[in-house]
Amino acid sequence: MFDPASLKYDAHGLVPVVAQDHASHEVLMVAWMNAEAVARTVATGKVTYWSRSRQAFWVKGESSGHVQKLVELRVDCDRDCLLVLVDQTGPACHTNRRSCFYTAVRDGAEVVIMEPSE
């Protein structure tokens, strides 16, 4: 059985998490989890992060409705990073964009490649 304590957390007890759309494979966002957030995510199927700024659990979409339903959790080879494959409802980014990765660097310049949803 998977044990969240088996992961390698940083000095603050956190592990980085990449959220990816399970169908399109688009990388949506990067956030953090502690062991309890990992356990809650696995137990509920609702992706739960640890907010470093608020020092609190953050169930993605709890207030916005832009939820992330867990499809699969993957552990990297060093056990110090997670990939969550999700079914994303609405935008994943707080800027109301599908992905947090909406700025590209092209020919040395930053270019916005994705506009916010209406």
Q: Which phi and psi angles does 42 have, rounded to 5°? A: -65, -40
Backbone phi and psi for residue 49, each to the nearest 5 degrees, phi listed first: -110, 170
Residue 104 Cα distances to 32, 44, 89, 109, angstroms = 23, 35, 24, 8
- Residue 100 annotated as lining a ligand binding site: yes
What's the confidence (pLDDT) of residue 118?
A: 75
Ligand-binding site membership of 10 (annotated): no
Taking the C-alpha atoms of residue 9 and residue 25, their distance in angstroms, rounded to an integer, is 26
Superfamily of domain 4-90: Phosphoribosyl-AMP cyclohydrolase (3.10.20.810)
For residue 76, how far is the Cα from the chain centroid?
15
Q: Is 76 annotated as a binding residue?
A: yes
Per-residue confidence of the chain (118 residues) as pLDDT tens digits? 999 999 999 999 999 999 999 999 999 999 999 999 999 999 999 999 999 999 999 999 888 999 999 999 999 999 999 999 999 999 999 999 999 999 999 999 999 999 998 7
Question: Model pTM greater than 0.75?
Answer: yes
- Is 80 annotated to bind a ligand? Reply is yes
